Amino acid sequence: MNKDLLHIDIQNYIKENLNSDISDLLLKGVPFKTIDSKSIIEQIEAKKRCHKKLPTWFNTKNIYFPNKLNIEQTSSEKTADYKAHLISEKSIIDLTGGFGIDAYYFSKQVEHVTHCEINTELSEIVNHNFKALNISNITCLNENGIEALKRIDKPFDWVYIDPSRRDSAKQKVFLLADCEPNIKTFQDLFLKYAKNVMVKTSPLLDLSATLADLKHVKEIHIVALNNEVKELLWILERDFEGTIIAKTVNLKKDNLQNFEFNLKDESEAHVNYNKPLTYLYEPNAAVLKSGGFNSVSEILNIDKLHKHSHLYTSETLLDFPGRRFKIEKILPFNKKIFSKEKITKANITTRNFPLSVSDIRKKLKVKDGGTTYLFFTTDCDNSKIILVCSQL
């Protein structure tokens, strides 16, 4: 950590050049003799990446930014705030602290946070930034989190771990066994020192396969941000052997969409199938990832178009964890019939349909965009249909 970068003149230069062309800056060089251009350019690039993802850090004076990879790997403020509201009590230890976004939000919910980071420079950066953010209830430890847990040798209310999803060659991995540290190996240790454990994993993990690897799972949180699944959170509770609840959340700009169900009940949930009615519903990405398609139908008392279509319909408008549409027309999948509608521009979605979106656009000569939404799907009679919709 080069503290010369915190000089007011350099900080002003960084702020003034956030939108400058990096190539031009490198060519011209920076107007400071005490520090090299590369270090300042790295600060500009890293800070710029934080504008939307980490607005608190972006807008706070004297924040020191790590390299771009650390910014890429860290939680967004919205997802960090969500997970922080899942914890309570007095203490939590973050075993893989990174840039400290999660620890910052944990500090708003518990009395004390221990932040472990094995990278010496990153640990120093995080410690500096917490002071700049006026946070006083976080202790930063520059050591391996597993070793810190053993050395401290005292109970915490929570253990939080976000294992690194990069291998020794810096390539992305996502399976539990390939991440560092290996959660399967150390989960008993975590539960020895804390009654509650939160594990953050890649959204690519298969839920059933991961459940087979983890013990005492109480809840799974599938967290999406603007309809893109960002992380899976596994809540483990010491000695818990009850039924597992899957909780889905889609964090949108102005609100959030929640849906939860009991994993054990999903296979036996009652589903009513129906032809398209007045309204159409498309589950958000978190619900789709959860696989709770039968539970959606039973809990929300809503009809499904087909076992494999994962689209729902109703006669009256309902609240729904996803997008809602008014069905304007129901057409058979037939090129001649469709051409009579004179639809040349539309947003196209396929669900349980043999053709891809690109194939459909070529076949029917429909450009992307506009206010018309076309759903190509299969109904409960196994007929291929087109639903012409307007979004609500």
pLDDT along the chain (392 residues), means of 10: 87 87 78 81 90 94 88 90 94 95 96 96 96 96 95 96 67 66 88 96 90 94 96 95 95 92 93 96 97 95 94 96 96 94 95 94 93 96 96 95
Looking at residue 102, the DSSP 8-state letter turns out to be H
- The answer to whether the beta carbons of residues 318 and 283 sit under 8 Å apart is no
* Total residue length of the chain: 392
> What was the pLDDT predicted at 277?
97
What the block records as the tokens of 3 is: 């503290």
> What was the pLDDT predicted at 32?
79
> What was the pLDDT predicted at 166?
57
Distance CA 42, CA 32 (A): 15
> What was the pLDDT predicted at 88?
87
Q: How far is CA 89 from the centre of its chain?
A: 25
- Listed residue (46, 33, 28) closest to 7, CA to CA: 33
Residue found under tokens 């509608």: 341
Using a 10 angstrom Cβ sphere, with 0-12 exposed, 13-18 middle and 19 or more buried, the burial of residue 119 is middle
- Listed residue (324, 235, 234, 244) closest to 284, CA to CA: 324
Distance CA 60, CA 40 (A): 17
Using a 10 angstrom Cβ sphere, with 0-12 exposed, 13-18 middle and 19 or more buried, the burial of residue 28 is exposed
Distance CA 205, CA 232 (A): 8
Report yes or no on whether pTM surpasses 0.75.
Answer: yes
Distance CA 376, CA 384 (A): 7
- Listed residue (65, 146, 60, 137) closest to 104, CA to CA: 137
